[in-house]
Structure 1
Amino acid sequence: MTESVAAASGLPLSGIRVADFTRVLTGPFCTMLLGDLGADVIKIEPPGGDDTRAWGPPFQESPEGRESSYFLSVNRNKRSVELDLKTPEGMAAARELIATSDVLVENFRPGTLDRLGLGWDALHAAHPRLVYASISGFGLSGPYRDRAGYDVIAQGMGGMMSYNGDVGGPPLRVGVAVADVFAGSLITQAILAALFQRERSGQGERVDVNLLESVIALGSSQVGRYLATGEIPVPVGNDHRSIVPYGTVACGDGFVNIAVGNDALWRRFCVALELDELGADPRFATNEGRVNNRAELDTLMLAGLARYTRQEIMARLERAGVPCGPVNNMAEVFDDPHVRARGVAVRVEHASLGHTTVTSPPWEIGGQPLPVRRAPPTLGQHTAEILKELKE
């Protein structure tokens, strides 16, 4: 038993092999999650590697190597094999690898793998238990089927940029690639469901997710509001359209997020921060009243909170049981005692960098955190190892 198999043996997807034909973010995020759960994820990279190996700066460097921080962020718990699918040798190795796999994940434009003879129909006929997962910009049918998909395009077309941002401001993209990450999470769920279904039917299924519909789904209450009323959502900054106060409030030395989700919390909020006038004002006694009188409340509340520091507000609200939290920069995030205690940042050995730091898998199973079994691989780091396994 190899070290990687032994390390994965107690994890839910131990014994599952994933042929990972993805690159950039959506697909690699999905396969990273599968690797976190114990799958043997084999990342098939073309000559030159995943596009994100060249995305930078920033890069992490050592005398032995140079790696993109972008690539490092979404490729833990995988092995890398470098194959040129344009050559007979590369295609033969890819086919052998697929034959030993339980799951294939790809995010090429629809039809690309069909032209290579690696499409769903051909592979399902040859390997009926294979779960075949496809990720695209716009889905496997429809007028936009052949368009390339990118996060910023999906955020715009899916409406998200129209309701994100400051009041009266221009359309604004969310600061992380939420379309990519959410679509990657959704396809992971679909793969797990297909593996479960395979246990019943003995047959693999094709599952697919696209960026556009993932953004629409992510809109949740904003989308529901439009479908129910016809009202087009607009940016409201950090506020909530239906709950007040809920969002970011300024204080003497920074910003705090608060979540006053009901009238009882509102009364405790006012007592904790000695906002007696607001607590006694009938305009603000109910959430509906606070929503309808949002502007007046914001003005009065800002004046009342200016005398407190961020830490003072948080201390008072925590004692009162009112949900709150600081607005942290990234240094503050990883210096937070709770984040440190949870071991969110993990230092791992890396083949060319010596060491690197990655985030830990975001679950616990059976009361235990999931391990980072492998650092993000260097390009083709495991090619010889994997090709040898295929011949055994």
Structure 2
Amino acid sequence: MKVMRPSLLQPMLRSVTSNTLHIQSKTLSSLPLEGVKVVDMTRVLAAPYATMNLSDLGADVIKVERPGIGDETRKWGPPFLSPTLSNYFACCNRNKRSIVVDYTTHDGQVIIKKLMAQSDVFVENLKPGTLKKYKLDYENIKSSNEELIFASLSGYGQDGPYSKQGAYDVPLSAEGGLMGITGPVDGEPVKVGVALTDICSGLYLYSSIVAALYHRTKTGLGQQIDVSMFSTQLSMLVNVASNYLNSGIIAKPLGSSHLSIVPYQAFKTSDAYVVIAANNDSQFYDLSEAVGWPWLPSNPMFSTNELRVENSEELLKHLTERFAEETTEYWVDIASSFSFTAAPINNIQEAFEHPQAIHSDIVKTVHNEVDDVDIKVVGHPVKFNGKDPNNYTAPPVLGQHTISILQDLGYSDEEIRVLQKKNIIQSAT
């Protein structure tokens, strides 16, 4: 077994008293995952999003890509930032180093194994069974690095009747129930505006890796992580799933309205739309005051949320007429004096020009020196001790760091030239 890396142990002091683990934090002088090394053999969105989050917190992430093609999202455009960088690729691959290796060859497998032997985490989202063909799967690797956390993300998990199927966000959101509850009442199927199943799967993967790193500080051992996008999608159904499992209710698309809360939806105003959220009786009383109907809560049809749900058609008819009489700005302004919420439906430009977005300084600019291009990215949304991680580097061009990574592994210049000549590796320079 390798010696535990001190960098993973230094941030915490542990003592056990009465079977309870007490953790006393030291002053943070570095990023939370500084010293963690990650081999990232992922592509598209879900898993790269997870490894980007690890990199935001200080992990050294080495992105392993295929010769010639790399991550196919490099070509997902327009729009493009440069001939080698699409906006899509840039959204989930900042802070990473790119090495191009043909892992289907013997020499390529040797490189991957050397990377694994020196790393804390290995992340992949290939079809289950792919790495086993090249003896790069967990069972073949764990004996050489018992501390390695081997994390896999796939459409349906590593086993089961659908495990060999490839998967993407929209088909999985369809199979997993999300599209079945999204869209207008009695309308055509509608997907969510971003790849929500991908993103949530990536966040499960990311949090599972962080949990495994913590577990390793107690045991000295790594482990295998299996994240299924299908299972993730089922877990995302939350209250809709609970309604079905416990009450047999099969939800249907409701537009912007809510099955269990009324009013909680968008209403057309005189000039646009406004979203109203009155989640409890107190907020409904305030809403009634704001619309000029203070008597409304005394109506036995609307006095509780349960009654408002039962009589939603009647209540929403009146509210729809009332909200249409004023502008969206009017309703947003008046809500600021009450406990209910009113919000405009912003487009993307309006969202990033929101005063809170500007205050949070969430948009960062990074520079890729190879393509000589400035790239704007949405930074990490979490602050630590009031500070943004703020260690952002540009998403790499294909093979930008191949040579330096191989040199770090101990390859000589001549060995690197031979690997290039055999097309086992590829470099941007």
- TM-score band by shorter chain is over 0.9
Cα distance in 2 between the residues matched to 1:53 and 1:176: 18
How far has the Cα of 1:324 moved from its partner?
A: 2.5
Give the aligned partner of residue 41 of structure 1.
Answer: 61
Letter in structure 2 aligned against 1:266: F
How far has the Cα of 1:55 moved from its partner?
A: 0.8
Cα distance in 1 between the residues matched to 2:265 and 2:49: 29
How far has the Cα of 1:298 moved from its partner?
A: 1.3
Deviations 1:349-369 (A, max 9, x none): 123142010000111112111
Q: Does 1:182 align with 2:203?
A: no
Cα distance in 1 between the residues matched to 2:157 and 2:109: 26
Contact kept? 1:360, 1:372, Cα under 8 Å: no
Structure 1 vs Structure 2 CA RMSD = 1.6
How far has the Cα of 1:273 moved from its partner?
A: 2.6
* 1:79-118 alignment runs, 5 A limit: 79-118=97-136
How far has the Cα of 1:372 moved from its partner?
A: 4.0
Distance 1:202 1:139, change over 3 A: same
Tell me the secondary structure at the aligned position of residue 152 of structure 1.
helix
How far has the Cα of 1:279 moved from its partner?
A: 4.7
Contact kept? 2:84, 2:398, Cα under 8 Å: no
One of 256, 261, 271 as aligned partner of 2:274: 256
Cα distance in 2 between the residues matched to 1:353 and 1:361: 24
Contact kept? 1:344, 1:360, Cα under 8 Å: yes
How far has the Cα of 1:272 moved from its partner?
A: 1.8
How far has the Cα of 1:9 moved from its partner?
A: 7.0
Contact kept? 2:176, 2:234, Cα under 8 Å: yes
Give the aligned partner of residue 308 of structure 1.
Answer: 326
Give the aligned partner of residue 8 of structure 2.
Answer: none
Tell me the secondary structure at the aligned position of residue 267 of structure 2.
strand
More helix by share: 1
One of 66, 73, 77 as aligned partner of 1:52: 73
One of 18, 24, 27 as aligned partner of 2:44: 24
Contact kept? 1:16, 1:40, Cα under 8 Å: yes
Cα distance in 2 between the residues matched to 1:59 and 1:178: 23
Q: Which runs of 4+ in 1 moved over 4 A?
A: none
Give the aligned partner of residue 192 of structure 1.
Answer: 210
Cα distance in 2 between the residues matched to 1:67 and 1:387: 23
Tell me the secondary structure at the aligned position of residue 409 of structure 2.
helix
Cα distance in 2 between the residues matched to 1:182 and 1:148: 18
How far has the Cα of 1:387 moved from its partner?
A: 1.3
Give the aligned partner of residue 419 of structure 2.
Answer: none
Deviations 1:104-140 (A, max 9, x none): 0000011101111100001111111100000011111
Letter in structure 1 aligned against 2:86: S
Give the aligned partner of residue 368 of structure 1.
Answer: 387
Cα distance in 2 between the residues matched to 1:103 and 1:75: 17
Contact kept? 1:257, 1:326, Cα under 8 Å: yes
Cα distance in 1 between the residues matched to 2:182 and 2:239: 13
Contact kept? 2:154, 2:228, Cα under 8 Å: yes
Cα distance in 2 between the residues matched to 1:257 and 1:346: 29
Contact kept? 1:18, 1:104, Cα under 8 Å: yes
Give the aligned partner of residue 218 of structure 1.
Answer: 236
Q: TM-score, normalised by structure 2?
A: 0.86
Q: TM-score, normalised by structure 1?
A: 0.94
Task: Show structure 2 runs of 5+ residues with no match.
Answer: 1-27, 412-429
How far has the Cα of 1:77 moved from its partner?
A: 1.4
How far has the Cα of 1:270 moved from its partner?
A: 1.4
Cα distance in 2 between the residues matched to 1:215 and 1:239: 21
* 1:71-86 alignment runs, 5 A limit: 71-86=89-104
Cα distance in 2 between the residues matched to 1:9 and 1:183: 30
Q: What is the identity percentage for the equivalent residue pairs of Structure 1 and Structure 2?
A: 38
Distance 1:9 1:382, change over 3 A: farther
Distance 1:66 1:110, change over 3 A: closer
Contact kept? 1:284, 1:293, Cα under 8 Å: yes
Cα distance in 1 between the residues matched to 2:44 and 2:372: 21
Give the aligned partner of residue 3 of structure 1.
Answer: none
How far has the Cα of 1:331 moved from its partner?
A: 0.7
How far has the Cα of 1:91 moved from its partner?
A: 2.3
Tell me the secondary structure at the aligned position of residue 174 of structure 1.
coil
